[in-house]
Each structure stands twice: as structure tokens, then as C-alpha cells.
A and B are shown apart, each in its own frame.
Chain A
Amino acid sequence: MNQWKENWSMFKENESAQESEKSQKLLTSFEFEPGRVEKGYTDRRLYINLSENKIEEKPIDSKVKEIFTGGRGYGMWYLWNAISPKTKWNDHENEIIFCTGPICGVTQYSGTGKTHVVSLSPETGTVNDNNVGGYFAPFLKFSGWDLLEIQGKAKQDVIMFIDGNQGKVIIEEILGINSDTHLLIEKLTEKYADDEKDRRNISIISSGRGAENTNLGILNVSWYDIRRKHVRVKQAARGGTGSIFRDKKILAIVIKYSGVNANSNNVASPELIRKAGERLTKEILTLDHVQNGMREIGTVNLLDHMQNYECLPVHNFKFGSHPDAFKVNSKVWHRCMTQKQAGDSCWVGCALRCSHGVDNFKLSTGPLKGEKVLVDGPEYETTAGFAGNCGCFDPNFVLEANFYCDNYGIDTIGVSTTMAFLMECYENGIINKEITEGLEFNFGNSKAALELIHQMSEGKGFGKIAGLGIRRIKKILVEKYNADAKFLQDIGMECKGMEFSEYVTKESLAQQGGYGIANKGPQHDESWLIFMDQVNNQIPTFEDKAEALHYFPLFRTWFSIVGLCKLPWNDIEPEDNKQKHHGIEAAKVPDHVENYCWLFEGVTGKHITPEELILQSEKVHNFQRLFNLKMGFGTREHDVVPYRAVGPVTAEEYESRRELYDQQLQEVIKFDIEGKTTEEKMKILRAYREEQYQMLCDAVYKRRGWDANGVPTLENIKKLKIDFPEIVELVKKYQS
């Protein structure tokens, strides 16, 4: 730690005025009228321009409210208006927009604390959205703001402080502080809280030096864990939002708000909210332990199931299971995680309590070597990525990688998928020790993997290349090292520039589309249809799959426009759900959809049907597709996924599941495999599967009201009332 440039003096009470003056400087401040939430909305946004040291209150137009509902919908609209098609992620005009949503902050229903973040991604070059737990968004709204919109770049590192009770925003320039999250947020929480009790009223957004030196930067959003007396964090992880945050020289955004109560949203009908909340909470408390065990170990419960059903990514998505997976299975995490009987709520009132942590974990590498730390997680994605995909089935490695990625502000999914790709490149001789600067980067080498995480974060050695993400690495390997571009395209698990999250999709055509056609890139938060498709076989036809790829992405989008977490929707379900409802209807969890209708009406006073709820989402989802188009990405060619997501790229993969593939060749494709080599069989299988994927795209585009090139039709955008002149003009360009 001593090797870092540190200056914590400003946080000390006995600091001299002179010392303080040297290290921090007030850049600007702004006073506002504190919170005035009315039926879930404040109808105003806090705009900050760091290049101009400008802070302003701006209204939210009633038409914007009507069309985009809130949250991510608002974020998309204001970003659209802030940038041009030529804007790059690190240009001054790019914004990071922190969004709330009308239901955000309700304390009687689980999963209402999400902050939704919108920005132009360094990975994809187009609009990106994240969702993250922690207390930030509710505090922002109760302070009086539906959105925090940050544009421009500061010259030196700054800390923004929003005091929601006093009605004040302060931006200070701070020199010489290490941006890594772990120490920073503890110090800042201490500094801005009046006392121990007041720490619960602080939430901080931070990142780290990894975000400065890679395209894989994340945002950590904090809340104070009163049981542990520690600051905890959740992550807005995908697409490199943290890299923008640090590019803007934001060290941290601190918000302080006290006075959260059961009606901070000043809702229209508390009875409806109570009715929905009581029904869900009862289900969670009586059924979670026999369903998903979210309260016990959180999302990592999925690992065992993915392993058992051949969906766990192993060795860069080559395989779907591994004999060593038991070393990181649920039983292991049950032992490691503390306070597991009822995890932690990352916002007040959440009964699902899926946040977990491992206390007093002793780090064995890096700048904090020897320190005992609290590791938040690990979540399923982190474990599957580092253990499965990188082949390092060691829980201590997973925890150390998890901690350092969070601390440095880098994405565990992006990092692990990138490292798995590099490991396969290394094992194929595409890269060697000369290129990796001495790292033996075979699958399973956890020591080398940790070293690379440190190098990436410090922008040193081979980490400089690794931190660019798969799409840019592929380009370098082809241009500089004469690598086979086609092979790299097949095994480089990225689409639209974003790395895949951690599921093997070879046997689920619907999930291939769920990843490939997703607006922001291959992240499962738009749709997760693997079991419905591959195991349950509930959506066998193209039309069925297209219907699922219409409804579920839209339903999931809705959470982000009203300020909710997805988990309480279907990670718990009524005991009789699958007896009362059938097929795809059961997967919608109709009782919970009804809860959401009650919630929306309860907060806003506007009656809403399940169909209207989908229509709200459809506007935002289509607008995001059009945003991609504006940035030059939203067409069919950008929905193509690497073949590794579709079928076996190598003979080794084919042979690992020969029986399955041979059966498909004979029974479905009607190909006589007698006397055929593996390579010959692979070729036929590939042609078939790639054709199936294109046919899926045809069906999905049609269902979504898009043309054959994946562009929303004029008729559709008119129906959705998003036919703004700029959009009509844009779509017309693609009509020929």
C-alpha cells in the first residue's frame, strides 16, 4: 500500500488548514430545494458539467415522462440529445446518467433500490445501460432528483457531494488520492457521516485504477452494513461505465440523505403497495429456502445447476461442465459465506436479501497482500467466469479475483471472459511468453490470472493489451502477430464489442438470440431462456422462440424504467405457479406481474394492465435499438455471435459431446455420418446451426416489428409514438 501515492490527510480531524488547502479545492457549489417527490417522481434532473464547473436544475418534460416512463427510459432520451453519431465514449459530451424510476425507493416491496446507469460505452461505442444495487438511487430521488446527469470532464480528480437534506451540491478537486474503492469508500463514509448511525445515510459511487487503465471499468455503489459495520458495494459492471467515470476524473460521488420512511415516494395508494409487498414477502420467507436459496448464498446457487445441465462455461466456453466444479459448488460457498441464513439487503425492505459476503479473507497477492478484507459475493457470474471459464477451480482464487476486480473497478465478467479467451490463444500458440511478457497463460494457472488482473489495473505489461477487451485484442493479434482472424472470430466470445456473460448457449438457439440480438451486447439481463428452451423444450418453434424473445426482454426492460431489481420477479415464485399457469405463461409468473401492476398504480395513481406495462418497455427497447442505429451499430450484421456460442469450433469440442452432435446430424439434419471424419461432420453441423441462427433472427425481427435488417419499421415507431423527426429521418436512411 505504501507504494501508492496517498493523501488521506484531508480526512483527518487534526489536519491543518494549510494541508487541506494544498490537497483539496472547492470548484463549485449549488444550492437546491430539497426533496419534493410526488407519486414517485420529482420531475427534475440535476445536471452537472465538469468541463464548465456548471451545476443546474433542469425540468423533465411531461412528454418525455409520458413516452419514456422514467429510469433508463429517461437516461436514453437525455443521452440521445447530448451526443451526436460521431461522439466517442471519452469525448466531453458523453454523459453518465444515474437514473431512479417511479417505484425506486419503495420500502414495502423487495428489490426497489436499483440505480440504472446510462452512458456511451468504451467497449461497444454505443449506448449502454447498467443496473446496480446500493442506496444511491433512492437517496438521489428523495433528495429531489429523478436523474443525475454528468457531462464534461474535470481537469483533476474531483469528489462530488450531494447533501439531500441541506439541498447542496459541492464539487471539490482532490489531489493525490488513490481511486481504488476499498479504502476510498471507508474513508469517505467516515468523513461525510456525522456519527456511526449516520453512516447508513451515505451512499458512494466509486471505481478504481483498473477503470483508468482498461475498457472494462465498473462503478461500485455503496451502502453501509450496520451488522458488519462495514461499507458494502454492488457493481454496475458491464460495458466499461467505470472507465468513463474515471475519464471524467470523478473519484467519487457521495450522496447523503436521512429521513427515508414508508412513504418517501408520497405514493397515490399505499394499500396497493402493501398488498403487493405482503404477498411477495410471505412467498420469500416461506419458499426461498426450498427454491433458490437466495437468502442463503445468493446467485452463486446457480453454479451447481449450470454444471449439471452442461451450461457452465469451461475453458472459454468450450465445454459445459468440468469434473473439478465441485470445488466451487454451493456447499463450498455455504461454508465460506458469513451471515448466510439471511443475507443482506442492498436496499431497505428487501426480503430476498441476496447480497452475501466473505469476511476476513486474507489476500495473498497485490498491493493489499496480507490484509484481511470483506469480499462482496461471489456472485454466480464471477465464480463461473474465473473458476469455469479460466479453469481455476479454487475458491480462494475466485475470492481474491473478485475482491481485486471490485477494488480496482473492473468487471469480473469482462475480465474473466477476456482471460479465458487469452488462455485459449496461449494454448493454441497464438500468443506466447514473449507476448505475455513471461506469463504462462494456460487454463488453470490462477497465479498468472491474478498477476494479469494486477497488470491490467495498473496498465502495465501484458495487462495493457488484456484490458482492451476481446474485440480490440483480436485486432491486435491479427494485425501485429498474424493470427488467424477467422479462428479468433470463432472463439472470441464477444458481440458488439462486449464480452459474453457466463452461460454456454450451444444447445439453446433462443439464448443465442438472447445474447446476440440484445441491444447492449451479450449480457443475460435482457433475456435468459436457456432452460425454457434447452431443457423444458417449451418454445420449440421459431415463432415460440421469437415470442419469448419479444416478451421477456421487454418485461426485463420494464424493471429498469421504473427502478426495480429483476430477482424478486422470478427467482422466487408462488408455490402453485406452474399448476395454475402453463408453458411460457408460467414463466412470466403472472401473480408477480400483477404485483407490479399494483405497485405502479399504487405509486403513480395510474392504472396499468400487463399489456400496457409491456408497451411502456417496448418504447424504450425500440428507442435503444434506434440509438444503436444512430451510432452505426443497430443492424443485422451486429447481431451475429461467434460460432463458439452456436456450436463446436474445434474437434475437441465436438468429440466431447459426439453422441449429441451425431444424433442431431442423423435425426434432424438427416446426414449420413457413416465413414465421415469429425471435421466433415463439424462442417455440416455448422452450416445447419448458423442457418438456424439466421432464421431465428428473421423470426425475432418480424415479431418485434423490425425489418429484415433488424431496423424498427416506421409503422412500428409510429405505433410506439417515438416517431420524432430525427428518428424518422434515421430510419428512412435504412429503408432502401
Chain B
Amino acid sequence: MIRVNGRDREWEEDLTVDLLLKKCKYTFPLIMIKINGKYISKEKYKNTLIKDNDEVQAIHSIAGG
């Protein structure tokens, strides 16, 4: 189990940041990712693995109306 934005989510093997974003349907282009508080730059999304019990923050920079 991992937590994404404070909510529980099933963990799976070989789960990268890229794959997590797809599974969460997080399509917004401006998302800042932190894993266990550590900032992950966009170019590392493809190769950064998320481990079981990790705490992921996916903060959308959207201002809205």
C-alpha cells in the first residue's frame, strides 16, 4: 500500500512515477511530485520507482477560475 495525496492506494511492483500518474489519471501538465518529502524532477518520472509504503505527493499547480 502507498499513500497518494494522503489517500491509500494499492502498490504494485515496477510502479514508476509516470505509471502512477497514468493510473491516477493525473493528466494536468504541471504537477510537482514528492516521494517521502523528496522532490522528483520531471525528467526522472520515467525511471523513479515508487516503493511499498511510500508517501507520494502529487500537487497540481492549477489556479482555476
Contacts and interface: CB of A to CB of B under 8 A. Distances in A.
Interface of A: 290-292, 299, 302, 304-305, 308-309, 380-381, 501, 503, 524-525, 528, 530-531, 535-538, 540, 567, 569-571, 573, 577-579, 586
B1 interface: no
Interface in B39-65: 39, 58-65
Contacts of B7: 537
A503 B65 contact: yes
A380 B60 contact: no
B59 A578 contact: yes
A290 B28 CA distance: 11
B34 to A, nearest CB: 9
Interface of chain B: mostly helix, strand, loop or mixed: loop
Contact of B32 (A380, A569, A571, A579): A579
B59 A380 contact: no
Contacts of B28: 305, 308-309
B59 A538 contact: yes
A309 B5 CA distance: 15
B25 interface: yes
A194 B32 CA distance: 53
Contacts of A302: 62, 64-65
Interface residues of B, number: 19
A536 B65 contact: no
A336 to B, nearest CB: 21
10 contacts: A299-B65, A305-B62, A309-B25, A503-B65, A535-B5, A536-B58, A537-B7, A570-B63, A578-B32, A586-B59
Given A535-B5, A579-B32, A586-B59, A380 B65 contact: yes
Nearest to B8: A667
Contacts of A570: 63
Nearest to A530: B64
Given A536-B58, A537-B6, 20 more contacts: A299-B65, A302-B64, A304-B27, A305-B27, A305-B28, A503-B64, A503-B65, A524-B64, A524-B65, A528-B63, A528-B65, A530-B64, A535-B60, A536-B5, A537-B5, A537-B7, A573-B61, A573-B63, A577-B61, A579-B39
A2 to B, nearest CB: 40
Given A531-B60, A536-B5, A579-B39, A501 B65 contact: yes
A128 to B, nearest CB: 17
B42 to A, nearest CB: 10
Nearest to B28: A305
Q: Which of A531, A536, A540, A577 has the most CB of B within 10 A?
A: A536
B5 A525 contact: no
Contacts of A503: 64-65
B61 A291 contact: yes
A536 B63 contact: no
Given A308-B28, A578-B32, A292 B63 contact: yes
A528 B60 CA distance: 14
A601 to B, nearest CB: 25
A538 B32 CA distance: 13
A570 to B, nearest CB: 4
Contacts of B5: 535-538
Contacts of B26: 535
